[in-house]
A and B are shown apart, each in its own frame.
Chain A
Amino acid sequence: MSKSLTSTALSATALALALGTALTLSAAPASAADDKEKCYGVAMKGKNDCAAGPGTTCAGTSKTDHQGNAWKYVPKGSCEKTASPTSPTGFGQLAAFKEKKA
């Protein structure tokens, strides 16, 4: 059934035209990670994007707020401006750090 339906309802040319136009329309594919940086010490507990060391596996597993070895993707440039009460610098850092008492 499918073969006759295909040839009657939609020609190969029409399909090629649609796909060609679609390709042009979609010229700038969405990409998310390019303009982000990994920021340590700013994620609330359970809200980290990845990496939280022994006893946890990955995303969403950090045990405390602002955990120093858990990171979150944030817009580029904003990490070291984000307040982190556990960070020795007072702000998020681009590498894992040892927390001070908040």
Chain B
Amino acid sequence: MSDQRLFVAALFDPEAPCPAGLTAWNGSDPARRFAVYRNNVVVSLIDALADTFPVTLELVGEEFFRAMAGVFMRAAPPGSVLLAEYGAGFPAFIERFEPARSVPYLADVARLELLRVRAFHAADADPISPARIARALADPERLPALRATCHPSLGVLRSDYAVVSLWAAHQGHGDLAQVDPFVPESALIVRVGLDVQVLALPPGGDTLVASLADGLPLGQAAALALAAREDFDLTAHLALLLRMGALTALVQPTEA
């Protein structure tokens, strides 16, 4: 193992001795200095997870969360220097984390929070112009084959649990005591200007947005949504997406 790998291994193992060959500029004990550094690394990574997953933390409490984050952090140290991206594997870890089994919706709430952070840092993109839509409408026969490009911040989360209501209750919207966590909900996450928005999508709506995000043509996405839910309101959902600037382009298959 290289010196650097030994150093990193010792950082993440509290039982490991101070790596050999360290010296302090002022002659103090390197083992003590290393312990301080190790503590700072561990605490800052757990703090980063707590900042990214605030509702997940509130659901299980500070003590449980920090212990769980510590186990995750030692198993999966950051792979990137961008701390904002740290924790991408945390929801999947929570799902497998035995002590969290009694809170089955915890992993999906963490997924929602991760999508919010991604939306926050996603690139800007101009919404599709009304003129472009007008041009598409002028040629209705080709409309079903068009594909929509979604805003880079857009994400859809389909859950067996009431993720949106749970998350919203922790933002001061709605009463947590009234939320039944076992009602399936789907979330639409998209950044409008500088604000990341989280909306509940009804059945059908989640199918439409997920299909568009997957790059399916408009006609097929709408048909799948109608198949998922007979009374699906296509107009209202398209209006919602346009109003939020969630669609940025319409592409002919030949243009792609």
Contacts and interface: CB of A to CB of B under 8 A. Distances in A.
Interface of A: 2, 5-6, 9-10, 12-23, 25-33, 36, 49, 73
A19 B221 CA distance: 13
Interface in B216-235: 216-220, 222-224, 226-227, 234-235
Interface in B106-138: 127, 130, 133-134, 136-137
Contacts of A28: 243
Interface residues of B, number: 36
B192 A21 contact: no
Given A9-B226, A15-B222, 20 more contacts: A2-B220, A5-B223, A9-B227, A10-B219, A10-B223, A12-B140, A12-B143, A15-B143, A15-B219, A15-B234, A18-B222, A18-B234, A19-B218, A22-B236, A22-B242, A23-B133, A25-B235, A26-B239, A26-B243, A36-B194
B195 interface: yes
B194 A6 contact: no
If over half of A's interface residues share one DSSP class (helix, strand or loop), that class is named, otherwise mixed; here it is: helix
* B interface secondary structure, majority: helix
A89 B168 CA distance: 38
Contacts of A14: 234
B52 to A, nearest CB: 11
